[in-house]
Amino acid sequence: MLALWPQGPVLKARISVLFSIVTAGYVAIFLAQDSANQHTNLRLSPPLPTPFYEISGPFKQLVADILLIKTKVFLGGRSAETDPLSYAENLDRQFSAISDLHPELLDIYYLCESSLSWISRPSAERSNQILSAGLEGRPEQWTIPFFIGFNNFRYLQDNDVAIRFLSMAANKPFAPEWVGSLANLLSTDGGDIVAGFLLLREMRNQTVDPLLRSNLDRDISQYQNALVVLRAIASYNNINGHRPGQLTDLIPKFLAMLPRMEDGYELEYFNQRLHLHKATGQP
């Protein structure tokens, strides 16, 4: 039996061939797998329950950093067609886990505000809860109460709460002066439109997410339309001593035509006051 088994150079040659086949097989399978994985759409899996991460003890902040990187990779790599509602819940859970593990990490709040708040009304509510962790984790930051105020004004349409958080933001160190005046503006006649415009403009400056920036640009243009109408009402009031009965009274002397509102926005003139509304369900 042993005599049948090749010896010397023949055996060596056969072993070399066999080794080459095994190696080539591994490389081929690896490349096929790798290429298949690259074509797979990025998915954001939900995090484990926080207690599992808590067990990591002194490494929990590093775990939070890694979860944040994972979330950023997903947000940066998702395609423009991905429906935000499809990942909103997992995004919320990721941010909640990260803020539980590492409430001092400022990047979470910026990312949460730019990627979660605008998706839907429940997302804005969840976002405010996550941002609340930041009020304790980073109490010196003015941006966190500012974000909560903005969300209340913009997505939850609760100006009273918005004013409270904007005032809080205004009292933090290094808060720009305009934050305080925003809070005042919100409570004045037509101030919500001016304040909304300023808020949106500031939010656009704060965010780096291209998707959110383009959304905000569209919103800002609608607010600019409303501001044009607001200025026409003021001119009408200055000349006539009273406000117009309806918006069409402004045409043609004070306004060539009423601006065409888009993206679910509509102007409402009620009790001689101008309001800018966004239809429910519009992001």
Q: Kindly state the smallest distance separating residue 123's Cβ from another protein, in Å.
A: 21
How far apart, in whole angstroms, are the C-alpha atoms of residue 210 and residue 177?
27
Of the pair 60, 278, the CB lying nearest another protein is at 60
Q: How far apart, in Å, are the Cα atoms of 153 and each of 63, 73, 148, 170?
A: 33, 30, 9, 16
Of the pair 211, 261, the CB lying nearest another protein is at 211
Of the pair 57, 252, the CB lying nearest another protein is at 57
Residues that bind another protein (CB under 8 A): 51, 54-62, 64-65, 68-69, 72, 102, 104-107, 110, 138-140, 174, 208
Q: Kindly state the smallest distance separating residue 105's Cβ from another protein, in Å.
A: 5
Of the pair 110, 221, the CB lying nearest another protein is at 110
Of the pair 104, 189, the CB lying nearest another protein is at 104
Which residues, other chains included, contact 115 with Cβ-Cβ below 8 Å and sequence gap of 6+?
75, 91, 209, 212
Q: Kindly state the smallest distance separating residue 70's Cβ from another protein, in Å.
A: 10
Report which of 193, 183, 191, 171 is spatially closest to residue 278, judged by C-alpha positions.
Answer: 193
Are 179 and 163 contacting, i.e. CB atoms less than 8 angstroms apart? Answer: no
Of the pair 68, 250, the CB lying nearest another protein is at 68
Report which of 201, 246, 253 is spatially closest to residue 232, judged by C-alpha positions.
Answer: 253
3-state SS assignment for residue 269: strand
* Upstream peptide bond of 283 is cis (omega within 30 degrees of 0): no
Q: Kindly state the smallest distance separating residue 182's Cβ from another protein, in Å.
A: 20
Please report, as a single letter, which amino acid is at residue 193. Answer: I
Token output for 21 = 């086949």
Q: Kindly state the smallest distance separating residue 34's Cβ from another protein, in Å.
A: 21
Q: Kindly state the smallest distance separating residue 216's Cβ from another protein, in Å.
A: 18
Token output for 36 = 């298949």
